[in-house]
Amino acid sequence: MTVTPASLAAPLIELRGIGVRYPGAATEALHGIDLTVGHGELVTLTGPVGSGKSTLLSVVGLLLRPATGSYLLNGIDTARLGDRERASLRCRQIGSVFQRPALLPARSVLENVMLPVLYAGLPRRRRTIAALDALDRVGMASVAHVAARELAGGEQQLVAIARAIVTEPSLLVCDDPTADLDDAAATKIVSLIVGLRLDGRTLLVVTKDQLAAAYSSRTVTIGAVVPAEPRTPIGTKTTVPTSGVWP
């Protein structure tokens, strides 16, 4: 299948009635989620533990197929894509940053950042140039040949962000990237995230960091999990923005 992105006038992310239930679970991880995110927005996600914030990021990041609902990414109906097509779209359009950097500890910083462009099939010289450019943008080019295990936690997260942007994705999904960092390192990560938005990228960020929320377009609160088979209808919109225009 050939996938053709929609124009920039259309939303980048359109979720309608998204539901996720893990096998054997007594509750749905997500239920009836509606969310629209435009190009260039920085949207922060908040909510109680177990409300499904990370699950929602997995759906948006094409790491998890929802059981119900529809997801259009840049106008592309992701439900119609096979696994290989989803992987290709994810590689080209989405960068992911997690709470823990998940770097290969024995590999150099440069080798870690090159991984996504390796999967994209670029020749080695172009991979190296792209990775060095991404490291330069996060201020980590000087440690390109240092083993990842030699870096402090905040430095490793900067490298993880470089890895996420090396393919020049239009969308970044970030799952609480400042959670395990001290205040100084967290502030640096937040400043970098804000800068990426100013570069024109769209960001969806799970965070408890008030500084990140202060710089966002809007904050969306995800409600608590709901019974998998409720006897009484409970409403379909469990994503409610605390600021900004709905949807």
**Per-residue confidence (pLDDT) for residue 66, from 0 to 100:** 96
What confidence score (pLDDT) does residue 242 get? 27
- Give the percent of the chain with pLDDT over 70: 87
Which pLDDT value is given to residue 210?
A: 75
Residue, of 18 and 237, whose pLDDT is higher: 18
Residue 1 has which token pair?
Answer: 């299948």
SS3 of residue 144 by DSSP: coil
Q: With beta carbons less than 8 A apart as the criterion, state whether 41 and 217 touch.
A: yes
- Assign 241 a pLDDT band (cuts: 50, 70, 90): very low
The separation between CA 40 and the C-alpha centre of its own chain, rounded to angstroms, equals 14
Please state the domain extents for the chain: 39-62+82-220
Whole-number pLDDT of residue 8: 56
Cβ neighbours of residue 201 closer than 8 Å, sequence gap 6 or more: 40, 165, 169, 170, 171, 172
Q: How confident is the model over 27-81, as pLDDT tens digits? A: 889 999 999 999 999 999 998 888 899 999 999 999 999 999 999 999 999 999 9
Give the per-residue pLDDT at 234. 27
Distances (CA, A) of 124 to 67, 121, 127: 39, 9, 5
Question: What are 219-236's pLDDT values in tens digits?
Answer: 999 875 444 443 333 222
- For the cut 80, the answer to whether the pLDDT of residue 156 exceeds it is yes
- Tens digits of per-residue pLDDT, 91-112? 999 999 999 999 999 999 999 9
Between the CA atoms of 183, 192, 201 and 162, what dihedral angle is there, to the nearest 10 degrees? Answer: -110
Name the architecture of domain 39-62+82-220: 3-Layer(aba) Sandwich (3.40)
For residue 85, pLDDT beyond 60: yes
Structure tokens at 50: 């177990």
Q: Read off the pTM.
A: 0.83
Question: What is the residue-averaged pLDDT of the chain?
Answer: 85
Task: Kindly tell me if the per-residue pLDDT of 247 is higher than 50.
Answer: no
Residue 135 confidence (pLDDT) above 90: yes
Q: Provide the Cα torsion 97, 219, 89, 70; round to 10°.
A: 140
